Amino acid sequence: MINKKSLWFLTLFSLILVLSVYYVTMPNELLLTNNNTQTSKKENEEKEEDSNVSLEVSESSVLVALRVESDEEMIKELDELKEILTNAESSVEDKNNAFEKMKDINVTRGEEEKLEKKIKEQFKLESFVKITGDQIRVVIASEKHDTSLANNIMRSIQENYTTKMYISVKFQK
């Protein structure tokens, strides 16, 4: 004979099983549509709240252009390396080399961002940093061309490296 506990357990378990099967067999479009409408409602509410607040962020167009160009080069190179990795005809050595290059690109990008952040914190200047091997190119968004400031920036960047780096600082507006 089935007691009450077993009957309740069986009933709840079958309900959970039916709901699970229904959820799994539901079309993905329905889930995405419902999620998008909810997030768009939230975004509209946030926009209405933020409409009273005026926020203005500006950055030198030269720095933006340099960042976009650098990002495009990096993405193009990463795509080429991913193609090598996913190609079935590539040798193991080629795949290993491509993977190592991808890691190097990511590490270099991290160093560039770290140096930009350091320059912003120490000198309160917007900058663009590009690292190529042992050369570091720094572009500062400033109309004032100050050699002592450039020397201080070069010294603060060199502190991060044990080997001699060739650092150039350029001021542009």
- Per-residue pLDDT of the chain (173 residues), as tens digits, is 678 888 888 888 888 888 888 777 877 666 565 555 555 555 555 555 555 444 444 556 888 889 999 999 999 999 999 988 888 888 889 989 999 999 999 999 999 999 999 999 999 999 999 999 999 999 998 888 889 999 999 999 999 999 999 999 999 87
Distance CA 119, CA 126 (A): 8
165 lies in some domain: yes
DSSP string, 13-24: HHHHHHHHHHHH
How many independent structural domains does the chain possess?
A: 1
Across 43-165, where does the E strand assignment appear? Answer: 127-132, 135-141
pTM to 2 decimal places: 0.62
Give dist(CA 117, CA 123) in Å, integer.
Answer: 10
In a domain, 52, yes or no: no
CATH code for the domain of 121:
1.10.287.4300
Indicate whether 19 belongs to any domain. no
Which residue range(s) make up the domain with 148? 61-172
Examine residue 134 and state whether it is found in any structural domain, yes or no.
yes
Q: How many CB atoms lie within 10 A of CB 127?
A: 23
Q: Is residue 146 part of a domain?
A: yes
